[in-house]
Structure 1
Amino acid sequence: MPYTLSEVIVLFFTYSVVGWLWETVYCSIKDHQYAYRGFLFGPYCPVYGFAITTILITTYQVRDNIILLFIVGMIVASVFEYVASLFLEKVFHMKLWDYSDLWGNLQGRIAPQISLFWGIGVVILVRYIQPFIQRVINWEEGWTHGMLALLIVVGMGTDTVLTMISIKHFHMTTKQWDQRINAFQEQLRERVKKALPEERQLRRDQLEHWDQTFVDHLQKHPGTALSWNERRMIKSFPKMKVLDAKRFNKVKQHLSK
Structure 2
Amino acid sequence: MPYTISEIIVLFFTYSFIGWLWETIYCSIKDHHYEYRGFLFGPYCPVYGFAVTTVLICTKDVQDNIFLLFIVGIIVATVFEYVASLFLEKVFHLKLWDYSKLWGNIQGRVAPVISLFWGFGVILLVKFIQPFVQKIINIEERDTHGWLAVGITIVMGIDTILTVISVERFHITTKMWDNRINQFIERVRSRVESRMAEKGRLKVGDWHHSVIQHYDELKPNRLSWNQKRMLKSFPKLRVLDAPKFMEIKKAILEKENRSNKNTAV
State the match for 2:137 in structure 1.
137
SS in 2 for 1:29: helix
State the match for 1:75 in structure 2.
75
Change (3 A) 1:246 1:222: closer
Identity %: 64
Deviation of 1:221 (Å): 4.7
Mapping 1:74-223, distance limit 5 Å: 74-195=74-195, 207-218=204-215, 221=217, 223=219
For 2:136 and 2:63, the matched residues in 1 are separated by: 19
Question: Aligned AA for 2:46?
Answer: P
For 2:28 and 2:85, the matched residues in 1 are separated by: 23
For 1:21 and 1:69, the matched residues in 2 are separated by: 26
Change (3 A) 1:188 1:52: same
Question: Aligned AA for 2:248?
Answer: V
State the match for 2:252 in structure 1.
255
Across the aligned residues of Structure 1 and Structure 2, the Cα RMSD in angstroms comes to: 1.6
Deviation of 1:217 (Å): 2.3
For 1:188 and 1:60, the matched residues in 2 are separated by: 62
For 1:222 and 1:24, the matched residues in 2 are separated by: 33
Deviation of 1:196 (Å): 7.6
Encode CA deviations 1:33-69: one digit per residue, 9 max, x unaligned.
2211111100000010000000001111111111111
State the match for 1:35 in structure 2.
35
216, 229, 234: which one aligns with 1:232: 229
**Is contact 1:226-1:255 (8 Å) kept?**
no
Mapping 1:54-69, distance limit 5 Å: 54-69=54-69
State the match for 1:24 in structure 2.
24
For 2:59 and 2:27, the matched residues in 1 are separated by: 29
For 2:137 and 2:251, the matched residues in 1 are separated by: 44
Deviation of 1:211 (Å): 1.4
Structure 2: 5+ residue stretches without partners = 255-265
Encode CA deviations 1:47-105: one digit per residue, 9 max, x unaligned.
10000000001111111111111110011000000000000000001111000000000
Deviation of 1:253 (Å): 1.8
Question: Aligned AA for 2:126?
Answer: V
Question: Aligned AA for 1:247?
Answer: K
Structure 1: 5+ residue stretches without partners = 198-203
Change (3 A) 1:34 1:222: farther
Deviation of 1:169 (Å): 0.8
SS in 2 for 1:87: helix
For 2:146 and 2:90, the matched residues in 1 are separated by: 35
In the superposition, the TM-score normalised over structure 2's length comes to 0.90
Question: Aligned AA for 1:102?
Answer: L
SS in 1 for 2:188: helix
Question: Aligned AA for 1:248?
Answer: F
Give the total of aligned pairs.
249
For 1:24 and 1:187, the matched residues in 2 are separated by: 43
**Is contact 2:103-2:111 (8 Å) kept?**
yes
Deviates more, 1:19-28 or 1:103-112: 19-28
Deviation of 1:190 (Å): 2.2
**Is contact 2:181-2:218 (8 Å) kept?**
no
SS in 1 for 2:99: coil
Deviates more, 1:223-232 or 1:150-159: 223-232
Deviation of 1:212 (Å): 2.3
In the superposition, the TM-score normalised over structure 1's length comes to 0.93
Question: Aligned AA for 2:136?
Answer: V
For 2:186 and 2:136, the matched residues in 1 are separated by: 61
